[in-house]
Structure 1
Amino acid sequence: MNEAAKQKLDKLWARGRDFLGCEYAILGGAMSWVSERNLVSALSNAGGFGVIACGSMSPDLLSEEIAATKALTDKPFGVNLITMHPDLEKLIDVCKDHDVSHVVLAGGLPSGASIKQVKDFGAKVICFSPALVLAKRLIRNGADALVIEGAEAGGHIGPVVTSVLAQEILPEIKEVPIFVAGGIGRGEAMLSYLEMGAAGVQLGTRFVCATECIAHENFKKAFIRAGAKDAMTTLQIDPNFPVIPVRALNNKGTQEFMATQRRVIEKFNNGELEKHAAQLEIEHFWAGALRKAVIDGDVEYGSVMAGQSVGMVKKEQPVAEILEELVEQACEVLTTRQSA
């Protein structure tokens, strides 16, 4: 690897490296059932920044997961908490008890009180922003860094693609580090966002087929077989029941989600369910379907959440090798420019 190119790359993501406290300013996307102690510690040990996906964990389960991760790495890592979790305050207290250095508040716009609760025990707060106006509000409320994630990403997504979000937000926000996510599978793309002003990037799909990832063999094989066009978004069938789009590989589980929406809405129309309960039942579909695919290996009826960068996942590799590839690809571009 060209040393001058490596030094240039280090300069480009110096702000992100300093903020995270790691060698590469590459965040691991928090993927439920996937981003647990093994993958998180492997990412941090290899120079990236692993993030535990709390998802629907109870406070006790999260406490166990953090402790288990600390037993596998002495490097910094973060914890991703869903803002809609009914025990959010208790989960933040768990992070406090374990002296977690970085907390990611995701799955909705976090309250100022939640941000303050995290900052009060000394942790840095990372929030997701799908628009410039929300980015500014989050910074006013105390966010220490932002992730801007485009619609190419896997799992629950927003409506705007990464390239547009980057152009909208990166030139306007200088107060805090910004990490770009969604559709990033190679080092050249990573470099382009750093040169636009990003402090670092976040990747999820690229790490699913890491050797250290506990995802079922069938889940990994589905990723390796898939192309970008296979990662599709779900649709809502009734505007009275808004559904946050989910990007996943199209399978019979996708069709089952449509049937679930129809069944639940019919129960609501018949007076068997209140609207809030019906909405929750629709959203809860994904938690069970995702576990079915990731842990049990049912990639036919389970939810195989994947970003469009899945087409660039060609084989199972150790985390360290994936990170090295990304860095080498970025450095090759920089080296070519130097020799031109």
Structure 2
Amino acid sequence: MTEYPKTSALMARGCEFLGTEHAIMCGAMSWVSERNLVSAISNGGGFGVVACGAMTPDLLDAEIAATKEMTDKHFGVNLITMHPDIFELIDICGKHRVSHVVLAGGIPPKGSVEAIKQHGAKVIVFAPTLALAKKLLRSGADALVIEGSEAGGHIGPVSTSVLAQEFLPELAKDFIVFVAGGIGTGDMMAAYLEMGASGVQLGTRFACATESIAHSDFKKAFFRAKARDAEMSVQIDPRLPVIPVRALKNKGTDAFSDKQREVAKILDSGEIEMAEAQLQIEHYWAGALRRAVVDGDIENGSLMAGQSVSLVTEEEPAAEIIAKLMEQSEAALKRPSRAA
């Protein structure tokens, strides 16, 4: 007998797919989603995901090994599709028999989905449009995350609530679909589960977990923030396609505009190709995020946060966050108005 019968019933497919007690994934947050937080979430009944980000294959190798020392539960690895060593990273995941690989940041390069599946892992993808989602799922992806613009970090242009209304009726019956972006409570989690989602993904809610290695000043910035403080970055030059990033506004926000101008100028000079230009932008974000998360430079670093940051008010162990989400969801699903 489960402690959360209604929520668990709605999550059943997601739990079976992830191999977890609860179908609650942690979004991959560079510098934050590492061995300590990932293992704590998986040990707490959820599904932790290592953020590979700009790691080299050797660094990812060490991180996965260290995470396995801290948990015997399932966890995944998030790989950025534009990473120049993506196939080596896939082989590292295969070496460690990682059960799930999440591909993020763009359309998976040719052969990547097949390479992951050859290692026996399941493939989770993101898709900004319904047509692309259907194509990726037909092409071998095992599950999909739909992530709205309320999320932190790299985001698309459409809100979670609209994406859920568009995607879930079309896909949820036949495929595993997780919903992400702006989810901070179990009440919202319950709403998406009732719409057909197999589970949810949260990042901002876990960023300040007790086990998160984020600097104390980084966490304090989250505790002070209101939803409107998490702003979306602006694209300065239309010739340089950059994925918008949502973060708390600070001096680092303005510095990104300067970085775009710098990269665009180099691109115009012909010194680099577009792929290299985009990679430079990604390296900028990796460095800016490290300054905030690791060094505690909350003025000049990147404070990537979703709009649900207003719901993050204190440090809590990851297991308690998961339990609270499940309790809130169960209470919401048991309300007389829903049972009527």
TM-score normalised over the length of structure 2: 0.96
After TM superposition, give the deviation of residue 275 of structure 1 in Å.
Answer: 4.4
Aligned to 2:295: 296
- The 5 Å alignment of 1:236-251 reads 236-251=235-250
Aligned to 1:131: 129
Aligned to 2:15: 17
1:312-333 alpha-carbon deviations (Å, 9 max, x no partner): 0010111111111111111111
Aligned to 1:28: 26
After TM superposition, give the deviation of residue 295 of structure 1 in Å.
Answer: 0.3
CA RMSD of superposed structures (Å): 1.6
- The 5 Å alignment of 1:105-184 reads 105-173=103-171, 174-184=173-183
After TM superposition, give the deviation of residue 264 of structure 1 in Å.
Answer: 3.0
1:125 and 1:143 in contact (8 A); partners too: yes
2:23 and 2:198 in contact (8 A); partners too: yes
What amino acid is aligned across from residue 125 of structure 1 in structure 2? V
1:5 and 1:331 in contact (8 A); partners too: no
Change (3 A) 1:172 1:105: same
Identity %: 64
SS in 2 for 1:172: helix
1:259 correspondence with 2:258: yes
1:235 and 1:243 in contact (8 A); partners too: no
After TM superposition, give the deviation of residue 135 of structure 1 in Å.
Answer: 0.8
Q: In structure 2, how many angstroms separate the alpha carbons of the residues matched to 1:183 and 1:317?
A: 19
SS in 1 for 2:242: coil
After TM superposition, give the deviation of residue 268 of structure 1 in Å.
Answer: 4.2
Aligned to 1:100: 98
Q: In structure 2, how many angstroms separate the alpha carbons of the residues matched to 1:133 and 1:339?
A: 35
Aligned to 1:43: 41
1:184 and 1:190 in contact (8 A); partners too: yes
Instruction: Extract unaligned runs of 5+ from structure 1.
Output: none
Q: In structure 2, how many angstroms separate the alpha carbons of the residues matched to 1:336 and 1:181?
A: 24
2:26 and 2:201 in contact (8 A); partners too: yes
How many residue pairs match? The answer is 337
1:4-44 alpha-carbon deviations (Å, 9 max, x no partner): 98211111110001000111100010000000000000000
Q: In structure 2, how many angstroms separate the alpha carbons of the residues matched to 1:22 and 1:280?
A: 34
Aligned to 1:227: 226
SS in 1 for 2:83: coil
2:54 and 2:283 in contact (8 A); partners too: no
1:154 and 1:247 in contact (8 A); partners too: yes
1:178-213 alpha-carbon deviations (Å, 9 max, x no partner): 000000000000000000000000000000110000
Q: In structure 1, how many angstroms separate the alpha carbons of the residues matched to 2:169 and 2:78?
A: 26
Change (3 A) 1:279 1:85: closer
Instruction: Extract unaligned runs of 5+ from structure 2.
Output: none
After TM superposition, give the deviation of residue 259 of structure 1 in Å.
Answer: 1.6
Q: In structure 2, how many angstroms separate the alpha carbons of the residues matched to 1:221 and 1:273?
A: 41
Q: In structure 2, how many angstroms separate the alpha carbons of the residues matched to 1:122 and 1:107?
A: 22
TM-score normalised over the length of structure 1: 0.96
1:211 and 1:318 in contact (8 A); partners too: yes
